[in-house]
A and B are shown apart, each in its own frame.
Chain A
């Protein structure tokens, strides 16, 4: 039974709506590990977090926005003339909006010089019922969902924030893997009555900050990643001996060996961006193809810089997703694409970076959600 009183939906967007902001999580590569850790700490009945992304080209809108900011700067620096014909400093010169124009223009330049990716982060949260927690019934707490891992993603201008909804139509969007791809309205409104864009524009090299496998020391503490039929022998053999450390193919663990084999068997084509971002965006015919990672490797050492930088090749012209499902103390990772061949390329790229692991097909509506 679905209980609307204990179900919330959310998306993650820029708290102050500065479109050119490039929030990042520090330390690098620890975002997903810490997010899973936070889920385990909060331990909801069910949580579903989607990272949906696609290559885009918003250079024209970014350029127009930069011109608008520079025009404002010029206007603010032009003295106004008072009644006596004397030049006077404009009050705009003292505003925060004026003081940050250059920083924002610099951010716009950085985005324009990179391949741009549109990233939508959205999800669903089912709190444990009050009966289960306190033995009393009642609606979900009215406070918004607080996931500090998202709130820690920031730069000098802005940070990420969680926006909470009770509207079940978000569930349809989650199942259909839809995110907002046309954010032109938010560009037009930027200097006026601004709102946060529901999707973020990030540089392709920033995507690895959000979309990666859990790595590092934190994985030792992530109990939800262990398979349901966890046994110590298998654990020692398959999970804890995996290390990336000094290089992509370092270590003699089964994963490292398989990674070497997989890397050599993947064509170079998969390691390159699928197409230039200026090309036409591919739209799906309504289908979305999904695979679940059968097991999630415990990777104790972070990827080296070269391997990590290859995560920038994850976006394609098709919509792709990277999803976390947390259900009754277990976490699953899903990847998906709007095109079946693109999904194979996506899997191949992941395997080439992280090594061999198996995928199984997954349905659009996670079966665990309806249990």
Chain B
């Protein structure tokens, strides 16, 4: 069985969590109420069905929120993480003179690379834009509007 410290050292989970807390510190509960668009052709089909409208839709369209894209990104994250882990294991075997603290800290720090990639993807397509700073008079614009949070709330 894997030691917990090894999971932390050689996987990007903790790093992803740290980046999330830092980026969404003004709205930590965002993952519970993410806001993003659903704009694939399948989403269009669902809407047309709900409206009871027979509409001809093209076979392909803007694939926002596509599952394929999520699987691809998770795959890239795993490949990045495994590559970094193997590189670190090999490098640390050769660098015996490194103090123990570095031998633990370096793999953890390098796992921020796949974690950052995954976070950028999840943030863009699932969690939604980063929260604004408190007490700012002006907000960024253009941005994704808040109307998207309330779509089909009662359904």
Contact = CB atoms under 8 A, between A and B. Distances in A.
Contacts of A125: none
Interface in A124-179: 139, 144, 161, 163-173, 175, 178
A257 B135 CA distance: 55
Interface stretch (B4-12, B40-48, B84-92, B114-122): B40-48
Contact of B132 (A100, A193, A370): A193
A193 B131 contact: yes
B136 to A, nearest CB: 7
A279 interface: no
A15 interface: yes
B135 A167 contact: no
B150 A198 contact: yes
A365 interface: yes
Interface residues of A, number: 45
The 6 closest A-B pairs by CB, nearest first: A163-B145, A193-B26, A193-B131, A166-B39, A167-B37, A198-B147
Interface of A: 1-5, 10-11, 13, 15-17, 72, 95-97, 100, 122, 139, 144, 161, 163-173, 175, 178, 180, 186, 191-198, 365, 370
28 contacts: A2-B48, A5-B58, A5-B61, A11-B147, A13-B145, A13-B146, A97-B137, A100-B137, A163-B147, A164-B145, A165-B39, A165-B144, A166-B37, A166-B64, A167-B38, A167-B43, A168-B43, A168-B47, A169-B151, A172-B47, A172-B50, A172-B151, A193-B26, A194-B134, A195-B132, A198-B146, A198-B147, A365-B51
Given A11-B147, A166-B62, 12 more contacts: A2-B48, A2-B56, A161-B141, A163-B147, A165-B39, A166-B39, A169-B152, A170-B147, A171-B47, A172-B151, A175-B51, A193-B134
